[in-house]
Amino acid sequence: MSAVVYDLREVKRSRYAVAAVFAVHGAVTGSFATRVPWIQDHASVSAGQLGLALAFPAIGASVAMPLAGSVSHRFGARAALRGLMSLWTLALVLPALAPNLLTLCLALFVYGATAGMADVAMNALGVEVENRLDKSIMSGLHGMWSAGALIGSAAGTLAAHLGTDARLHHALAAAVLTLLAVVASQGVLDLRATEDDEAPPRFALPPRSALLIGAIGFCAVFAEGASLDWSAVYLRDVIGSSAGLAAACTTGFTLTMALARFAGDAVVDRFGPVRTVRVCGLLATAGALLVVLAGDAAVAMAGFALLGLGIAVVVPLCFAAAGRSGPNPSQAIAGVATITYTSGLIAPSAIGTIADATSLVTSFVLVTVLAFGLAAFAGVLHASGRTAAGTATDAKVPDSRP
């Protein structure tokens, strides 16, 4: 077993490469989301059938994410990321080709499976770079994902406005994004398993260390999904706002999250992940309470903005904590990702079910309780596993591989 030494400048370049990968991943999501109405019409599915089909990306991701660790172990981090990102960007073309409900469900299952595995691979590399630099970068990386999603959404909105066939739009987007993903992946650290590293199982359940961390992520993603999918409806039906103002609330929530993620790394480095999440949990709780008690649009919009600010950095910190929680970072990250994807899957329907049985205001009482859970259980995100091997004063960052 021979030691390979990474220059600190190479680690910093890898940070930018991983950030570009996050942006590409987000751009695929944004490109798809804007053309869902076209896909629905092309597949001739009802609103209920579309809701069923849109559950399949999360199902596919949850099934496939535990495989990501085995792929990275076998092929090395760089090759695995390059291959998984290429599969994900190319999978963008599949939903628009589906002519009916069955093929749409199958296409979205593959779309979600490739998305989930690429998600695990890029987060694992992000955690590795963060540990080597010995400073927080995960919040900024997820901010790049949000920025990529906004760019993909903007391009998709333009394509929809011009009446472009989604099959053509997604084929062109997939070609461009695949090229960008391959180029960006070349710049990440080429981490490989050593001879002493035990190969992970091809399919592994989340380790116990990931469950508590995943529970924190579950609360944050539930609040995020509830706010993204229901904030406009809340302003329209509960507050009585106009459609334009309701839509602006959702946009404001998204922008607040993106900006908070870009600023989050400096806050985490200053106060640490535990104190950061405790304060953010209290902000999110205050925001959710404002939403519940709001009597006018301004208060409700301020509440949703505070919610976005409070939950923005939680999921990045969950991935970072998972990557330091045990001997197999990819497996732990896959476990946390599986739990958070599940939360994103059930949140919109859970809010709707509670609203049907009681009221939409009562639904957001649940969001308030989960937001407070972030503050109450932030201690599980301790940073004791972070190494100091890659501080800014070091000239070299060591790694071992065959």
- List pLDDT tens digits, range 137-186: 999 999 999 889 888 888 888 888 888 999 999 999 999 999 999 999 99
Q: Which domain holds residue 256?
A: 204-384
pLDDT of residue 326: 64
Q: In this predicted model, which residue has the larger pLDDT, 381 or 288?
A: 288
Count other C-beta atoms under 10 Å from residue 374's C-beta. 26
Q: Is the pLDDT of residue 354 over 80?
A: yes
pLDDT band at 252 (very low <50, low <70, confident <90, very high): confident
CB 252 within 8 A of CB 287: no
Selection from 380, 16, 370, 22 nearest residue 208 by Cα: 380
Specify if 398 maps to a domain: no
pLDDT of residue 400: 33
Each residue of 368-388: pLDDT tens digit? 999 999 999 999 887 444 443
Question: Exposed (0-12), middle (13-18) or buried (19+): which is 27, by Cβ within 10 Å?
Answer: buried
Q: Looking at 322-401, which runs of residues are DSSP E strands?
A: 396-401
Specify if 395 maps to a domain: no
Each residue of 314-336: pLDDT tens digit? 999 998 888 777 666 777 887 88
Prediction pTM value: 0.79
pLDDT of residue 17: 94
Specify if 400 maps to a domain: no
Residue 192's SS3 state is coil
The number of folded domains in the chain is 2
Specify if 402 maps to a domain: no
How many angstroms separate the CA atoms of 243 and 251, rounded? Answer: 13
Q: 222 and 254, same structural domain?
A: yes
Q: 126 and 19, same structural domain?
A: yes
Q: 139 and 170, same structural domain?
A: yes
pLDDT of residue 2: 35
Q: 174 and 221, same structural domain?
A: no
Q: 145 and 76, same structural domain?
A: yes
Specify if 401 maps to a domain: no
What CATH number has the domain bearing residue 97? 1.20.1250.20
What is the maximum alpha-carbon separation in the chain?
A: 67
pLDDT of residue 204: 55
Q: 91 and 125, same structural domain?
A: yes
Cross-strand pairs, 4: 399
Specify if 276 maps to a domain: yes
Q: 99 and 217, same structural domain?
A: no
How many angstroms separate the CA atoms of 135 and 270, rounded? Answer: 10
Each residue of 206-242: pLDDT tens digit? 667 678 899 999 999 999 888 877 888 888 889 998 8
